[in-house]
Chains A and B, each alone.
Chain A
Amino acid sequence: MTALPETPGAAPDTSPAAAADRSDSGHGRRIFAIWLVVAVVIDVLFVFLAGPHLPPGAMTQNARSQQIDFTVITATALPVILFVWVYFAYALIVWRHPKGEPLTDGPPLRGHFRIQASWIAVTTVIVMAMFVYGTVELIGPAGAGGGEGPAPIWTPASSNVLVIQVIGQQWRWTYRYPSFGGFETDQLVIPNDTAIAFHVTSLDVIHSFWAYQLGVKSDANPGSDNVAFTTTGSATGTFIVRCAELCGIWHADMTTSGVVLSKSAFERWATLTEVKQAAATALLPKFAWSYTPDANGADGGYYPDSKDPYSSVQTYGS
């Protein structure tokens, strides 16, 4: 036989202390006041102290805008987090069940239309604001450094865009400069104050080109072209390139560095390298937006040669 347990303490507390306790607005005001002070202080501290130092730094326009975006999101999120924390802390301290006393129940508050409606309204407004802001930031600095696929819709304002092809393979990065004869190098050298288009592709599996300080991340997909833009600022210096998509055993080792030079230094380097590597460049597959490995890669090559029965079929460069 089963019977329902009689749960003790079914009556709400009617002591004088509880009557004083019943002033809802008192609690609400106190929580709001504590929250307001804490949120403002911490928000201001964060925006001014941490803001300028946030990743990924300000080396390029899109990196700077990502930094600002991060600051804005945190400045919005911090008050929300603090509201929950202040509320929980207040509740857990003030509304404990008195120790050792027989079990009593709290008031049967099952809902409150205004509070529920306000919560839904406020969270919707915050979320929609984040969406609008994020979209604006995405469009503004020409795609914010992310890979837009082969047909980008957000392009830099400047008409003078330097094209660099980034080729990922297991497990290294190489770069081709089509405006300088298409030479291939493992050094990523870029000029300052220039809009740059990275055309990222892969020769085998999916990698991801992540130039941290440039604020660029674009997946390297085999057989396809993923375009990401950046506009360098006037600062010169080095930056790190990592692979951000697991591509096999040595994924962790696909780390190199690149350098931002002044425009004249870059020109000198590029023309010099073009001349130095002319012989090697002639042996490379013709420059193309993506490269398909030789259909019969039994000898491991991406380059057709006389040994391949299908060597008359040009699968790249056309």
Chain B
Amino acid sequence: MTIVAESPVVTVTDEPRQGWLSQHLGTAVIGAVGGYLLGHWAGNLIASGYPTVTGTAANGANDVAVVLGLSFGVFGWLLGIGALNYPLAKLVGREPLAERPSVGWSRYFRFTLDHKVVGLQYVIGVLMFFFTGGLLAMAIRTELLSPTTHIIGPGTYIAIVGEHGTIMMMMASSLVLGPLGNYLVPLMIGARRVAFPRIEAASFWVFVAGYLVILTALPLGGFPTGWTGYAPLQTQATLGMDAYLVGFAVIGLGMILAGFNMAVTIINYRAPGMTWGRIPIFVWSMLATAALLTLATPVLFVAGLFGVLDRTAQTAFFVNEHGGNAFLWQNLFWFFGHPEVYIMALPGFGIVGEILPVFTRKPLFGYRVGAAGMIGVSLLSFFVWQHHLFQSGINPDMRPLFMLTTELISIPTGFIYLVGMGTLWRAKIRFEVPMLFALAMYFNFLIGGVTGVYLSDVPVNVTLHGSFFVLAHFHYTIMGGLVFAFFAGLYYWMPKMTGRSLNKTLALWHFWIMFIFFNLTFFPLFLVGLLGQPRRVFEYAPHLQMLNDLSTVSAYLLAASMIIFIVNFVWSLYIEPKAAPENPWDSKGLEWATATPVPFHNFDRIPLVLTDPYRYGEPDAPPVAQITEVPLPPRVREPDPLGSDAGGVTGGGSADG
């Protein structure tokens, strides 16, 4: 029995809500628009006389204005939301204004220091990205219904292809760490806050800024390179390319901030007793992901910067004729790009590792092997990037070397199957919706992962590179793996995060339609690629039309499953919300031990962790943590939970986990 009660200390509901004249999404928009106009004007001032790559500024093709406009716009956005108040105040040597924790629904539109609010903001953010990218995907599949009848022109088509890919990759980088990681990791490790709440909140607002920047690519004419942005096509492209480069730099910044905060939180803010052997497997996956986010993304940022400089400041990083090399972009991009795809795989492993024990009522089998696998994947992911360049004319000695490293990385990747299969052995399996999504993740990722082995084999890569086979492979791993796992996590943790459950019938319809038609959309694309259709084409051999049509029709039905999800989401959260039980899945996780709704400071007292959260099947096992209930005198104003003595008053220690 758990008591759902308000904490006895003064709660933030006693404070009046901040009004319209404070900083919120509206001021962010004002800042963004103002910044864009200022930057655009400044760019025209500086560079109106320059001959740029595609003409002179006089005919409107002024990359400098666009780049400065977008950059100033992002800066203005951050100023407007209040993300820069604290650093600016410190910069001029003043004490920053006291931050009043905001209350009510408006806090979701503000810069907030509560990691739980940031998590829920991210839920809306990633869904916004996902559905925009999904609409673009529908346009692509519609165009591919016929090899001869075209509904959109080739320029528009290629712009849509690039936009779809870029938006999806941007979204997928933070798909789990943003909403679920930020919300749950402090709860799972017994912390009352994250290490850097302002950095975490800034990462969300930067994430949204990146979305807006990449969207501007479309009205600017789109970019013709696809999400991979290869030079020299990149240098040749018109204005939309600048939105791509600035957009990636902005998203990259958000990824670095989010990853850095997550890593430091996990390392330093674990509650007493939370040893490395007791943290949930989801936290291991967040740590491995955070390491990659922090270490690999700067390379993307720099590559984007080089591209922008080439297009505006007449540098020649990627321009062969002036001493640069177009090859450099490929290498920089994929040096980031390969860890990037593991940024997308690892969180999925963490979620299914967390869900399986609950719905099999067994401890996680091979916990250490699973954690080692994640660390191994994270480390090895830096050593495989040349497999994207096997046919690019790299030094042929390198090809067997990178074939080896790529084959080797499939070993730790496979550990999640050992862990999952071991957990299923003699279990008591309950087929709740999160479990269904987790099982589907295993099914899909198996196909995705094994097809990766084909691509890692250089001779077979000769046939498959640049074809639809590659496309089907990464959709199986990213969408079939990560997105399915994301939905598993969303359905699983929704009762904790919002106090409401999603409707089970609608959820089952969502699952089955999504699973069946996801497979029917992407499996034919393996065959289409094997039969010779290259990527990113709007025309193809006529005998492939039936397979393409099967894929397109299934894609529409896949989209329909998303509509069912949206209906469920809106209905269950806003229109007819029903309170969820405290712990509807009977999980032993520490995050389920908090009150609902989770108070600002998470735990009244820092818990003393006694064991890991997987002690199923042991009636004598201790509870996962000791949370003693000591009543505090009423109306004691609790010390600022963000101050240096956070948690210290409760004797549980704060940052020194």
Query: Which residues of A pack against B, CB within 8 Å?
Result: 1-13, 21-22, 24, 27, 54-56, 62, 65-66, 69-70, 73, 77, 80-81, 84-85, 87-88, 91-92, 95-98, 103-112, 115-116, 119-120, 123-124, 127-128, 130-131, 134-135, 137-138, 143-154, 204-206, 208, 210, 212, 215-219, 221-224, 226, 240, 242-253, 255, 292-293, 295
Contact = CB atoms under 8 A, between A and B. Distances in A.
Contacts of B454: 70, 73, 77
Contacts of A246: 158, 224-226, 228, 230, 233, 535-536
Which of A242, A252, A253 is packed against the most chain B CB atoms within 10 Å?
A252
A2 B594 CA distance: 6
Contact of A87 (B421, B428, B456, B617): B421
Nearest to B364: A110
A27 B421 contact: no
B26 interface: no
Contact of B459 (A66, A91, A244): A66
Which of B155, B321, B403 is packed against the most chain A CB atoms within 10 Å?
B321
Interface in B342-389: 360-369
B459 A146 contact: yes
B411 interface: yes
A203 to B, nearest CB: 11
Nearest to A120: B411
Contacts of B459: 62, 65-66, 69, 134, 137-138, 144-146
* The 7 A-B residue pairs with the shortest CB-CB distance in the complex, in nearest-first order: A244-B466, A252-B537, A108-B617, A144-B459, A226-B393, A106-B362, A97-B428
B314 interface: no
Given A97-B430, A109-B422, A212-B532, 11 more contacts: A4-B623, A70-B460, A88-B421, A116-B369, A120-B369, A135-B403, A146-B390, A146-B391, A242-B532, A243-B534, A252-B539
Which of B8, B368, B462, B588 is packed against the most chain A CB atoms within 10 Å?
B462
A300 B435 CA distance: 61
B131 interface: no
B606 to A, nearest CB: 12
A105 B357 CA distance: 10
B493 to A, nearest CB: 15
B155 A249 contact: yes
A200 to B, nearest CB: 8
Interface stretch (B27-35, B72-80, B295-303, B394-402): B394-402
Interface stretch (B473-481, B563-571, B579-587): B579-587
Contact of B446 (A9, A84, A103): A84
A123 B411 contact: yes
Contacts of B250: none
A107 B458 contact: no
B5 interface: yes
Interface stretch (B39-47, B203-211, B624-632): B624-632
A255 B534 CA distance: 10
B232 A206 contact: yes
A205 to B, nearest CB: 4
A70 B532 CA distance: 15
Given A123-B414, A246-B535, A147 B615 contact: no
Contacts of A216: 462
18 contacts: A10-B618, A62-B462, A66-B463, A91-B425, A108-B615, A111-B366, A111-B368, A116-B366, A130-B407, A134-B407, A134-B456, A146-B390, A210-B534, A224-B327, A226-B392, A242-B534, A246-B228, A248-B158
Interface in B591-621: 592-595, 603-604, 614-619, 621
Contacts of B515: none
Contacts of B530: 54-55
A218 B154 contact: no
Contacts of B408: 127, 131
A149 B446 contact: no
Interface residues on B, range: 35 or more
B391 A91 contact: no
A120 B617 CA distance: 27
B309 interface: no
A153 B627 CA distance: 66
Contact of B587 (A7, A143, A245, A292): A7
B7 to A, nearest CB: 8
Contact of B457 (A10, A73, A295): A73
Given A204-B236, A219-B391, A219-B392, A24 B426 contact: yes
A39 to B, nearest CB: 14
Interface string B482-493: 000000000000
Given A134-B403, A150-B393, A217 B462 contact: yes
Contact of B3 (A2, A88, A251, A255): A2
B52 interface: no
Contacts of B228: 246
Given A3-B627, A97-B430, A252 B410 contact: no
Contacts of B360: 95, 106
B4 to A, nearest CB: 9
Contacts of A65: 459
A292 B321 contact: yes
A205 B461 CA distance: 22
Nearest to A91: B424
B268 interface: no
A129 B431 CA distance: 38
Contacts of A54: 530
A205 B424 contact: no
Nearest to A212: B532
B442 A5 contact: no
B603 to A, nearest CB: 7
Contacts of A245: 230, 466
B426 A251 contact: no
Contacts of B427: 91, 95, 106
Contacts of B1: 3, 6
A145 B462 contact: yes
B430 to A, nearest CB: 5
Contacts of A56: 463, 532
B86 interface: no
Interface in B46-89: none
Contact of A7 (B5, B155, B586): B586
A251 B365 contact: no
A54 B459 CA distance: 14
A144 B430 CA distance: 49
Contacts of A120: 369, 411
B466 to A, nearest CB: 3
B390 A107 contact: no
Interface string B532-567: 101111111100000000000000000000000000
A71 B340 CA distance: 30
B320 interface: yes
Contacts of A144: 458-459, 462
Contacts of A243: 534
A127 B536 CA distance: 31
B611 to A, nearest CB: 12
Interface in B413-456: 414-415, 417-418, 421-422, 424-431, 439, 442-443, 446-447, 450, 453-454, 456
Given A5-B593, A84-B417, A217 B618 contact: no
Given A4-B593, A73-B457, A124 B158 contact: no
B450 A80 contact: yes
Interface in B1-37: 1-3, 5, 7-8
Given A108-B618, A116-B418, A210-B534, A244 B396 contact: no
A22 to B, nearest CB: 7
Contacts of B338: none
A81 B539 contact: no
Contact of B2 (A5, A21, A151, A153): A5
B407 A127 contact: yes
Contact of B393 (A27, A145, A224): A224
B326 interface: yes
A22 B426 CA distance: 8
